[in-house]
Amino acid sequence: MTSVPAKGQVRVFADYDRDVDERCDVVVVGSGPGGSVVAKELAEAGRDVVLVEEGPPFTPQDFEWDGGRSMTRTMREAGLRTTRGHVMPTMQAICLGGGSLVNSAICVRSPERTLAGWCSDYDLEHGSRADLDPHYDAVASFLGIAPTPENVQGPRNLLFKRACDALGYSSEPIARNVRGCRGSGECFTGCRSRAKQSMDLAYVPAAIRAGARVLTSARVERIAMQGRRATAVSGRVVAPFRGTPSWRFRVEAKTVVLAAGCMATPVLLRRSGDLANASRQVGENLQFHPGTAAMGVFPEPTHPQFGATQGYQSLHFVGEGFKLETLWTPPALLAVRVPGYGLELKRHLAEIPYAAEWDAIVSTNRSLGRVVSRWRSLDPVLHWNFHPEDFRILARALFVLVEMFFAAGAKKVVHGVHGLPDEFHSIDEARTHERRELRPTDIVVAANHAFSSTRMHGNPRHGVVDELGRCHDTDNLYIADTGVLPRSPSVNPMFTAMAFAHRTARAIAAR
Ligand SMILES: Cc1cc2nc3c(=O)[nH]c(=O)nc-3n(C[C@H](O)[C@H](O)[C@H](O)COP(=O)(O)OP(=O)(O)OC[C@H]3O[C@@H](n4cnc5c(N)ncnc54)[C@H](O)[C@@H]3O)c2cc1C
Ligand code: SF4
């Protein structure tokens, strides 16, 4: 016996009491920024939509303020996933709303130059900024994306502006998908005031209002095909946080959209019989934005717990391959980067109320990796290595951050570079080390922006999906996560992935 939820219904783990069998027009796998846009747009276009999400929904009562504990609940592999080759941490969420529940809500359009480069290098005819702007606009207006207002910046964000002004670097308040942000700086552990317009609060409810059915705690394990047509997805209901499998489910659909994230989608395609892989590009070309951060300590208190998590940015160096931002994380996570032992460590931690943390993310277009399936698991193995030229850009970006801290009046900078003094006390001291040849393992890096593992290419021999997100080898199988980005968007990837997802939804609705 099977059970079928009514239109507009959400099913959580406790609701399942038997196997589930559904039929619909469109099944969307994954409720992150990509999948939820597709679900809402198609439900509003009158399609019967089922949205399937492996993670559970979270409410403010479920959020854990402790960073480590929060990660064990909201992130895959408890937030400890890393690449192999160059070992680099990378986090992917597992929850209704995907990465949007834990991210900093930064929404930046890819620069015109970056998109023009994609068009010429990946045979894309409609990928210019002018082509994508209507899709960016639609997402921006639905989510209320706007620059961070001054009253919630807090000192650590405004010091960044001061630094840029002093050095003549352009800077601006970051545009974010928030409404009524209070500047609590806790985006990473979940916005308790519900200001962040994460997908579980914005696009998913809109999809439900338009009649979409949502299955949470439902892990898709296989995509069924008949010839060139995808016909269904199937899998198991899984217990939140533990993943223990229970009831089976199957959703038959006329169209299948995969938006499980750029690490899960390639694994699903491979496990389902190496689908959509005539180009041999499924799982290839994996790219990241490796990021590094430094902490400046100022003479006056910065009250770093107050202020939008990431409120200010500089696109001044995007042409050189890096973007600069302010940053805040729960102090326990910040402590991981703080050098020293015993009393020295305590001294550094006591300085946090006087500190600001800023980061640089790098477009590493030469550093390509792979997503490989793991035996009997949906968790991927990730191979990735730093290209020496890309690493040089990261090292330069770190020294720009150091320079900025001193320009803003910091009395010292804690940079976390192995082999250099733990802290610099002046820009002159920092400059004596700037020319030192560093190795990738000398700098602490992490990367939560990942993309391109099922890249878009106009030529079916070189890419997995076409410009509208349809897998080249199929009639009705689409991908709508960051995996479709041809390469680095030069800026934070969520907004561009959503613009693509919006275009994909429009294309499906027009069929
Ligand atoms: C801490 C952090 C901060 C970040 N900050 C920003 C930021 O401020 N701005 C920005 O642009 N980017 C940011 N990012 C990156 C951004 O969040 C991601 O690029 C974005 O979420 C990717 O969207 P997506 O739809 O491709 O995939 P995801 O958001 O990963 O969503 C995929 C969804 O699919 C589900 N899923 C996976 N496998 C299955 C399966 N087999 N069955 C069913 N469901 C499945 C997952 O549980 C997940 O909910 C940040 C990321 C992190 C981790
Ligand atoms: S800074 Fe605080 S209030 Fe603002 S969006 Fe993030 S968590 Fe919500």
Predicted local distance difference test score (pLDDT) of residue 7:
73
265 CB near ligand 1 (under 6 Å) = no
Best of 76, 233, 448, 504 to mutate for ligand 1, by most ligand atoms within 8 A of CB?
Answer: 448
Question: 464, 277 in Cβ contact below 8 A?
Answer: yes
Using pLDDT thresholds of 50, 70 and 90, give the confidence band for residue 334.
confident
Question: Residue 328 C-alpha to ligand 2 middle, in angstroms?
Answer: 11
| Residues paired with 381 in a beta bridge | 372
Ligand 1 site, residue 53, Cβ cutoff 6 A: yes
The answer, yes or no, to whether residue 227 has pLDDT greater than 60, is: yes
Please choose, from the candidates 444, 468, 327, the residue with its C-alpha nearest in 3D space to the C-alpha of residue 394.
Answer: 444
Q: Return the pLDDT at 477.
A: 98
Closest ligand to 184 CA?
A: 2
Q: Which atom of ligand 1 is nearest to the CA of 33?
A: 25
What is the pLDDT, as a whole number, of residue 124? 98
Whether the per-residue pLDDT at 3 is higher than 70: the answer is no
Distance 112 CA to ligand 1 centre (A): 24
CA quadruple 325, 329, 331, 337: dihedral sign = negative
Report the C-alpha gap between 438 and 432 in whole angstroms: 14
Domains of the chain as residue ranges with CATH = 10-57+200-285+451-510 (3.50.50.60), 61-107+145-194+290-446 (3.30.560)
Q: Which H helix or E strand runs over 300? A: none
pLDDT band at 375 (very low <50, low <70, confident <90, very high): confident
Residue 38 C-alpha to ligand 2 middle, in angstroms?
A: 25
| CB 475 within 8 Å of CB 112 | no
Protein residue closest via CA to atom 5 of ligand 2? 196
Q: Which atom of ligand 2 is nearest to the CA of 186?
A: 7
The answer for residues whose C-beta is within 8 angstroms of residue 383's C-beta and 6 or more apart is 83, 84, 85, 286, 369, 370, 372
Per-residue model confidence as pLDDT tens digits over 243-299: 999 999 999 999 999 999 999 999 999 999 999 999 999 999 999 999 999 999 999
Residue 340 is predicted with a pLDDT of: 83
Q: Which of 104, 106, 153, 196 to mutate to test the pocket of ligand 2 (most atoms within 8 A of CB)?
A: 196
Mean pLDDT of 47-64: 97
Spell out the residues 6+ positions from residue 401 whose beta carbon is closer than 8 angstroms to its own.
293, 294, 324, 358, 359, 360, 413, 415
Statement: residue 330 has pLDDT above 90: no
Q: Give the DSSP letter string of 224-262.
A: EEETTEEEEEEEEEE-TTT--EEEEEEEEEEEEEE-S-T
Provide the pLDDT for residue 435.
84
Proportion of the chain above pLDDT 70, given as a percent: 99
Q: Which of 30-44, 117-131, 140-154, 324-338 has the lowest mean pLDDT?
A: 324-338
Percentage helix, strand, coil for the chain under 3-state DSSP, each rounded to 5: 30, 25, 40
361 lines ligand 1 (CB under 6 A): no
Ligand 2 mean position to 507 CA, how many Å?
Answer: 34
How many whole angstroms from its chain centre is CA 373? 21
* 426 vs 444, higher pLDDT: 426
Residue 201's pLDDT is 98
Token digits of residue 300: 């006056």
The pLDDT tens digits for 117-132 are: 999 999 999 999 999 9
Question: What pLDDT does residue 4 have?
Answer: 55
CA 306 to ligand 1 center in whole angstroms: 26
Question: Is residue 190 lining ligand 1, measured as CB closer than 6 Å?
Answer: no
Single-letter code of the amino acid located at 294? A
Which pLDDT band, with edges at 50, 70 and 90, does 352 fall under?
very high
Average pLDDT over residues 17-29: 97
What pLDDT score was predicted for residue 1?
47
For residue 352, give the amino acid letter: I
Residues with CB under 6 A from ligand 2: 105, 178, 181-187, 191, 193, 195-196, 308-309
Q: Which of 29-38, 291-300, 334-343, 369-378 has the lowest mean pLDDT?
A: 334-343
Cα 510 to ligand 1 centroid, rounded to whole Å: 27
Distance 252 CA to ligand 1 centre (A): 25
Is pTM beyond 0.95 here?
yes
pLDDT-based confidence at 153, cuts 50/70/90?
Answer: very high
Q: What is the mean pLDDT of residues 328-333?
A: 85
- Cα–Cα dist 79/44, whole Å: 34
Confidence of residue 2 (pLDDT cuts 50, 70, 90): low
Could you identify the atom of ligand 2 that is nearest to the CA of residue 185? 1
Encoding tokens for residue 187?
A: 């985006």
CA separation for the pair 351, 41 (Å, rounded) = 48
- CA dist., res. 235 & res. 78, Å (int): 22
- Chain-centre distance for alpha carbon 146: 19
Three-class SS of 94-132: CCCCHHHHCCCCECCCCCHHHHHHHHHHCCCCCCCHHHH
Q: Return the closest-CA partner of residue 255 out of 293, 228, 222, 219.
A: 228
H or E element in which residue 24 lies? strand 19-29
User: Residue 473: pLDDT above 60?
Assistant: yes
Distance CA 275, CA 268 (A): 9
| 487: Cα within 13 Å, side-chain hemisphere | 18
Q: Which two three-digit tokens encode residue 197?
A: 């317009």
Helices 388-407 and 154-167 sit at what angle, rounded to 10 degrees?
100
Tokens of 488: 């680095």
